Structure 1
Amino acid sequence: MTLVRPAFKLTHRGAMLILNAAIDAAEDMGVPQCIAIVDEGCNLLSFIRMDGARVLSIESATRKAMTAATTGQPTGGIAADKALLLAEATSGRMTNLFGGLPLIADGHIVGGIGVGSGTGERDLQIAEAAVAAFNRHMNGGTSA
C-alpha cells in the first residue's frame, strides 16, 4: 500500500518568473493589471496590483488563478448557463471570466495564473505571455 506520493510543486522563484513575465507583457501593452499566481492547492504564491489597476480586479484575478489551477483548464470557456452554476456551487470562489490559465509542468498541474483589470482578451494575452515564459524556462531544462 502506497501512503505517500511524489508531487510537483511550483516554487516561489517559479511564481516570480511568471509574475515578472506577466508584468512585462502588461507594460508592453500599456495595460495595468492585477496578477495572481497560485499553487496547485490554490494557495497564493505571488500577487501584484500594478499602478492604475482596478482595485476590484484583485478578487477576480485571484479567482481566475484558483479556477484554472483547480480545473486544469483556461477560464472563460464555460457556457453562460453553466458559469452561473459554477459560481453558485463554489460560493463565488470560481469564475468563468477570461484571463485564467493553468500552469503545467511535465504533465502535472502545478498552479494557475489569473490576470484582471483589462478586457478579457487583454487579460488572456498577458496570461498567455507569462505561461509561455514559464514553458520556455521549463523546456530549457532549468528548474524554476
Structure 2
Amino acid sequence: MSKAYNETVALSQSGALAALRAAVEKAQEMGVPQCIFIVDPSGETIASLRMDGAKYLSMHTARAKARTAASIRNATGSMTPEFAVAAGIASNGGVTNLPGGLPIRFGGKLAGAIGVGSGTGDQDIEVGRAALAAIEADPI
C-alpha cells in the first residue's frame, strides 16, 4: 500500500505560467534578474526563463534547485554539508543544497517545484515564495 507521502497532483501549464509570471514580477520589483525553473514531481521542466541580466550559469543551479526540491519534497538548503557534497558529485551537479528550491504543494500533495537562482539565497527564496503565493500553493 502506498503512503499519502507519495501522492502527487498535476500542475497545469496555466498554473506554471502564473507562477513564472509572479516570480518575474517579484524579481523585477526587487531589481534582481533571476533564472527560474518550474518542474513537475519527477523533476521534468514545465516552464523556465532567464530574465534579462540574470547570470547565465544560474540556469544550471536554478534547474538543480527545482529538481532537488521535487526529489526531496522539501526546500533546498537544509542538507548536511557531507550529504550535499556527496549528492552533488553523485548526480553530476543535478542535486544541490543551495537555497532557492521550493516544493509546490496543493493540500499537502506534491505538484512539482520551483528553483530560482541569480540572487542571494534569501532573494531566490523570496522570489520562489511569490510564485507559490500567486498559485495559492501551500506556503513554505
Question: TM-score w.r.t. structure 1 length?
Answer: 0.86
Deviations 1:19-49 (A, max 9, x none): 0110011011000000000011111111110
Residues 72, 7 of structure 1: CA spacing in aligned structure 2 closer, same or farther, 3 A cutoff?
closer
Deviations 1:64-105 (A, max 9, x none): 001111111000111212210121232221100010000001
What is residue 25 of structure 2 aligned with on the other side?
A: 24
Alignment of 1:69-84 (within 5 A): 69-84=70-85
Moved over 3 A (4+): none
Identity of aligned residues (%): 43
How many residue pairs were aligned? 133
What is residue 46 of structure 2 aligned with on the other side?
A: 45
Structure 1 stretches of 5 or more lacking a match? 1-5, 139-144
Cα RMSD (Å)? 1.7
SS in 2 for 1:112: strand
Question: TM-score w.r.t. structure 2 length?
Answer: 0.89
Larger Rg: 1
What is residue 87 of structure 1 aligned with on the other side?
A: 88
Residues 7, 99 of structure 1: CA spacing in aligned structure 2 closer, same or farther, 3 A cutoff?
closer
Deviation, structure 1 residue 61? 0.4
SS in 2 for 1:135: coil
Deviation, structure 1 residue 128? 1.2
